[in-house]
Structure formats: C-alpha cells, structure tokens
Amino acid sequence: MTSIRVDSPAIGITNPRHVAQFGVKKLATTTMGCKVNTFETELIVEKLSDKFQRVESICDADIYVINTCTVTLEADRQARQLVRKAIRRNPEAWIVVTGCYAQIDPEACAAIPGVDLVVGNSQKLDIPTLLEPMMAGALPPVLVKDIDKEISLPDRLVTHFEAKTRAFVQIQQGCDQGCTFCIIHTARGPNRSFDKAMIKRQVERLVMSGYKEIVICGVDIGSYGKDLDSGSSLVSLLQDLVEVEGDFRLRLSSIDPVHITSELASLMASTSKICPQLHLSMQSADTLILKRMKRRATRSLLYERIAQLRESVPNLVLSADILVGFPTESDVHFQATLEAVVDLSIPFPHVFPYSARPGTPAARIPKQVPHEIRKSRAAAVREAGREVWASVARKLVGTTQKILIEQGSNDKSEEFARGRAANYFPVFLSEGNIAPNSWQEVEIIGVGKDCLIARKRPEE
C-alpha cells in the first residue's frame, strides 16, 4: 500500500493569530516513537542551530516542531494531544507537525486549529529551509509526497544530541517487509541504505564530540546494504565502525531474528565495542501467528538463532518487542510466546497489546481477540519478564561491570550516580563526586527494585 499525497492548499490551515516573523529566536521540539525519529529531529535542530535557540518542549517557544509516530492508534491520539499542548503553551507560536502520523494522515494533523504546516517524511529534513517560506505565506499548508518515490536523506553530520552520553546514528530508512499489523512500511517507504562512508564519519564526529555510546538505528537495520551494489551488509558496516578510534561502545537497536547470523555473533564475540545486548523484533514465538503477521521468523528459527548467539556471547542480555492479542491468537498460541520469554531469558520485554490499525490487513481479520484478553496477556508477559529480570540480576551480583554514568552525583545534591552497563541493566552507584558521561569500573553488590546496586571497584 502506498501513501500518496500532493502538495495542495486544498486543506486550508490558516493562522490569523500571527503574521510572518523573521526574528524568531526559540525553537522547541518534541519527538515521539523510535530512535530514527530522534536522529532526524537532531538533524533538523543541527541545521537551525545558528538561527534559533533550542529550548525544552515544556518551555515557551516561537516555533514548535512535533515529530510524530503512528505505530498504533494510541500513538496517533498522543500525537494530537502533544500538538494541542504546544498550541496551548504559546497560542502565537508557529506549529510544524511532521513524522509518520503526518505522512499517513495529514488531514487529521491539519485539522487541529493552530497548526501551520504539516510535513511528511519525504521532506522532513527540509524543514529548516521551509520555515521562512511558511512564515511568509509562500507554502501550501500540507507538504506530503509519495514516500516510495521521494525521501530526504541526511546531507550533513550531527554533532550533538539532547542526551549527554548517548547518540543515535541512522544507517537506513524504510522497510520492505510489510507485516500485516504494521503501517510503518507505508509511512517510511522501502529500504534505503545510507552511504557507509558517511555513517562512519558520523560516528567519528560523535565520538570526537564526547559521546561514549552510539546507538545504531534504522527502521530495519538488518536489511542494511541489500539495496547497495557494493555488497555492504550490517556486519561489514559494523566491522568498519569498531575500527573508529576512541573509547566508546556501539549498541544495536531493534533487529529481526532472521538477521542474527553467525557472522554477527562472531563479530560481537570478538570486540568489546559492541554491547552484548540485542533488542529483538520478535512480536510472537508461535509459528502460525508469525506467519499470519507476515514475519520472517519461525519459532524454531528464533530459538536456533538465540542459542547460536549465546554460544558466542554467553553474557548476552535480550530485550524484545512482543505483540500479544493478535487476531486469531489462541491461548495455545499465546502460551508459546509466554514460554519463550522464559526459555530465551528475556529480562526486558517491551509488551504491546494488539491495536487494530486502519489500513492494515490484520485489522480486517474477523476473529479479533477481546480487549480484556489482550490486556491480561500483556500483564502476564510483563510479569514473566520481571521474574526473568530478577533471575538475571541476581546472577550479576559479584560481577565487575564497566558502566557509563548517565547522571552524576556529588556530595551536595544527587546521592546516587546512575549509569548503564553494556548489557543494558541500569546501575546505581552510591558514592559521591562522580561525573556524568564517565566510565566507571564497578562491582555489583546487590539488586534494587529496578536496578543493580554497585560500588566502585577497589584499586588493584
């Protein structure tokens, strides 16, 4: 299915509250959804850094850019809510709505009184050049094009992120899969891999800027390189990135189990620069449900790939997207997924009750699972995840971990320093005078409610 919109003034957004103002000083952004959106927001801000002062989204600003998500109907609702909040915060501000919700349903975005411009994903990165024409009244209020034919790709490097320790690097755009429950392949278009040399320069720039954790992200990162003539792949890209000089680590974002290959496992085992943690785009662990979802994996493949990976990376920690209550999912189907959380030892399940998304094949399946059953299944998976989390956490007590401090401590204010181990576990360190964005070798001495408790490793 293709989302096609044309630039047209037919959807009439008018904002009589203000006239063109070229002395705008303050810019606020709000980003929903995935790490790709986060990266793209920072690209937009980077291009505007010499013209506008960035302020937090809760502040009074002259321009608000809301980068939306549309993965569920709830995400759509939240997007509309965030837009209205920005308008209430400053009724005189210019409001720009972009992202996946803007791509899929620009009419709904444009219908919110006070919105000045709706920009689809194909022109999202052009927003910095669209602001002055927008304020001069020289643009149609909706700029949404066919994402299958047009896409704006990064033309410059990002040097900083709002987060002080972690940065995101996008390596590809779009998805060729077309899962039956998902609208994102329509909102993002087909797989397009970014230039390997530019990706490497981006990582080098961020490491030089002081970032110690680089998250490799995309809509379907395992598909990286399949559209290139150079024989590039995710593994070959990572091999280049681990050679970048500097004291940093790489973390992979969501990956389909079919893309967990022996080559990836070998590379992860050979270097400490790649975190021993993966986030699985798993969704289900029942083969029939996976087939009905139009997923690429089966239950047996999922188990085989994780077993092979653990042979190479025994300290591996998994997180996973899990979708429960998909149409036709029976108790037996669900039990297979619930068992997999324990069997595969997934301490960080990100659980979503199925939500019928208009425009997707799954929404047309007659046998929908009742909402209360979806909720109870989601609760059961979360509880299983908590039990796995506690079990894995207890096994980490007594180990030494190198953690990246995300929030520092000192003798007067913050009692605890907060960091994250390479395996993704949050760690609290109760000693004072620890600076953020620093490495700390620590000994895990206990387990808190949602974190590991540590102390500095004694000097040898």
- Domain residue ranges of the chain, discontinuous segments joined by +: 26-143, 166-396, 400-456
The more confidently predicted of residues 329 and 231 is 329
The more confidently predicted of residues 340 and 358 is 340
Order the strands of the 277-283 sheet from edge to edge: 277-283, 317-324, 348-353
b vs e for 114-139, b when ≥16 Cβ sit within 10 Å of the residue's Cβ?
bbbbbbbbbbbbebbebbeebbeeeb
Give residues with Cβ within 8 angstroms of 401, minimum separation 6. 421, 422, 423, 425, 427, 441, 442, 443, 444, 452, 454
Fold equal for 26-143 and 166-396: no
Q: Rounded mean pLDDT of the chain?
A: 89
Listed range (25-29, 200-204, 269-273, 372-376) with the worst mean pLDDT: 25-29
- CATH homologous superfamily of domain 166-396? tm_1862 like domain (3.80.30.20)
Q: What's the CATH code, domain 26-143?
A: 3.40.50.12160
Q: State CA 52 to chain mean position distance.
A: 26
Q: Which two tokens stand for residue 271?
A: 């270097």
CA distance 201 to 259: 25
Question: What is the reported pLDDT for 149?
Answer: 67
Asked whether the predicted pLDDT for residue 12 surpasses 50, the reply is no
Sign of CA dihedral 285, 288, 289, 292: positive
* 62 phi, psi to nearest 5 deg: -90, -30
The more confidently predicted of residues 435 and 274 is 274
Question: 245-284 pLDDT, tens per residue?
Answer: 999 999 999 999 999 999 999 999 999 999 999 999 999 9
The single residue listed with the structure tokens 């669209």 is 130
Contact 352, 321 (CB under 8 A): yes
Asked whether the predicted pLDDT for residue 348 surpasses 80, the reply is yes
Helix (H, G, I), strand (E, B) or coil at 149: coil
Question: 274-299 pLDDT, tens per residue?
Answer: 999 999 999 999 999 999 999 999 99
Taking alpha carbons only, the member of 282, 376, 291, 381 closest to residue 327 is 291
Helix (H, G, I), strand (E, B) or coil at 440: strand
CA dihedral 117, 120, 122, 125 (to 10 degrees): 50
Contact 116, 137 (CB under 8 A): no
Asked whether the predicted pLDDT for residue 2 surpasses 60, the reply is no
Asked whether the predicted pLDDT for residue 396 surpasses 90, the reply is yes
Would strands 63-68 and 94-99 be described as parallel, antiparallel, or unpaired? parallel
Which range among 4-13, 83-92, 339-348 has the greatest average pLDDT? 339-348
- The end-to-end CA distance of the chain, in Å, is 61
Which range among 4-18, 179-193, 334-348 has the greatest average pLDDT? 334-348
Would strands 417-421 and 400-407 be described as parallel, antiparallel, or unpaired? antiparallel
| CATH architecture, range 400-456 | Beta Barrel (2.40)
| 428-438 average pLDDT score | 85
CA distance 421 to 443: 11
Question: 137-162 pLDDT, tens per residue?
Answer: 888 889 988 877 666 666 666 776 76
Give residues with Cβ within 8 angstroms of 328, minimum separation 6. 289, 292, 365, 367, 369
Question: What is the reported pLDDT for 1?
Answer: 35
| 337-342 average pLDDT score | 98
Please give the share of the chain, as a percent, with pLDDT higher than 90: 67
Asked whether the predicted pLDDT for residue 13 surpasses 70, the reply is no
Helix (H, G, I), strand (E, B) or coil at 454: strand
Question: 47-71 pLDDT, tens per residue?
Answer: 888 888 888 877 788 999 999 999 8
Contact 425, 395 (CB under 8 A): no
6 burial type by CB count under 10 A (0-12 exposed, 13-18 middle, 19+ buried): exposed
Give residues with Cβ within 8 angstroms of 174, minimum separation 6. 147, 151, 185, 188, 189, 190, 191, 192, 219, 220
CA distance 184 to 174: 8
Question: What is the reported pLDDT for 73?
Answer: 85
Asked whether the predicted pLDDT for residue 322 surpasses 70, the reply is yes
CA distance 430 to 397: 16
Asked whether the predicted pLDDT for residue 46 surpasses 90, the reply is no
Question: 189-238 pLDDT, tens per residue?
Answer: 899 999 999 999 999 999 998 999 999 999 999 999 998 877 789 999 99
Asked whether the predicted pLDDT for residue 109 surpasses 80, the reply is yes
Asked whether the predicted pLDDT for residue 22 surpasses 60, the reply is no
Q: What is the DSSP letter of 301?
A: H
